[in-house]
Amino acid sequence: MEGIKNLIIDFGGVIINLTRNRCVEAFESFGVPDVRDCILNSKDLFMQIEMGTITSAEFRDGIRHLTQQRLTDEQIDAAWIAMLDDIPTYKLDLLMELRSRYNTMLLSNTNEIHWQWAEKNSFAYKGHHAEDFFGKIYLSYELNMVKPNADIFEYVLKDAGINPEETLFLDDAIPNCRTAETLGIHTYTPLPREDWSHLFK
């Protein structure tokens, strides 16, 4: 990776494997209307929680309102978390190696429920925490910004004080990569469950 000093890495679909259909089916079983479109295309409540414009409690109440069911917090959280699979251990080892070689950052469209689960279950590897794998962590729900909007990329570039021409962005969503490219950032779009370590050999 000649000339690359900085790595901005997406979470879902790049680091952690996803099974979105499992999440869709769980919410469909509750009777949430049009939930497949809402989850796969990040709409309505599912976009609002990732933007941080509603809290986790408001998200859960919104699901209860849509279903007209007395669902528990645990039932709703389990359905929402159902899309999250595992992080292969070789990727966690790779992230540690990359942090020693590059200025590494995480940039994710995510939400408090998913992130708290991931911190507890996905990054607890060899006694580590999420913060051990990255120099900086940028989460959409904390920033009130989401990819593919340019503002979140502009924020990261400014906050990290990095040059886009020296930066590689890995994201599984082509629209996110296209926006990054307009700002001069190099990009790579991994396929689902791809081992992208070949980029750094």
- Statement to judge: residues 158 and 92 lie in one domain: yes
What is the spatial distance between Cα 118 and Cα 114, in angstroms, rounded to a whole number? Answer: 6
Has residue 128 been placed in a domain?
A: yes
- Statement to judge: residues 134 and 178 lie in one domain: yes
Kindly state the tokens that stand for 164. Answer: 């886009």
- Statement to judge: residues 91 and 156 lie in one domain: yes
What is the spatial distance between Cα 37 and Cα 177, in angstroms, rounded to a whole number? Answer: 22
- The four Cα atoms 200, 15, 55, 58 give a dihedral, to 10 degrees, of 150
Check: CB of residue 169 under 8 Å from CB of residue 187: yes
pTM equals 0.96
What domain count does the chain have? 2
- Statement to judge: residues 151 and 118 lie in one domain: yes
Annotate 159-193 with b (16+ C-beta within 10 A) or e (fewer): ebebebeebbbbbbbeebbebbeeeebbbbbbeee
Amino acid 2: pLDDT = 86
- Statement to judge: residues 122 and 194 lie in one domain: yes
What is the spatial distance between Cα 170 and Cα 189, in angstroms, rounded to a whole number? Answer: 6
- Statement to judge: residues 75 and 91 lie in one domain: no
Q: Identify the band that residue 131 occupies on the pLDDT scale cut at 50, 70 and 90.
A: very high
Residue 148: is the preceding peptide bond cis (ω within 30°)? yes
- Statement to judge: residues 135 and 158 lie in one domain: yes
- Statement to judge: residues 191 and 113 lie in one domain: yes
Residue 191's alpha-carbon distances to 15, 17, 23, in angstroms, are: 11, 11, 20
Kindly state the tokens that stand for 126. Answer: 């060899």
Domain final residue, candidates 42, 58, 81:
81
Domain final residue, candidates 30, 50, 81:
81
Q: 114 lies in which domain range?
A: 6-17+87-200
Respond yes or no: is residue 10 known to be catalytic.
Answer: yes
Has residue 1 been placed in a domain?
A: no
**pLDDT tens digits, one per residue of 142-167:** 999 999 999 999 999 999 999 999 99
Domain final residue, candidates 37, 64, 81:
81
**pLDDT tens digits, one per residue of 103-119:** 999 999 999 999 999 99
Amino acid 133: pLDDT = 98
- Statement to judge: residues 149 and 194 lie in one domain: yes
Considering the chain, what is the average pLDDT of its residues?
96
CATH number of the structural domain spanning residue 27: 1.10.150.240
Has residue 96 been placed in a domain?
A: yes
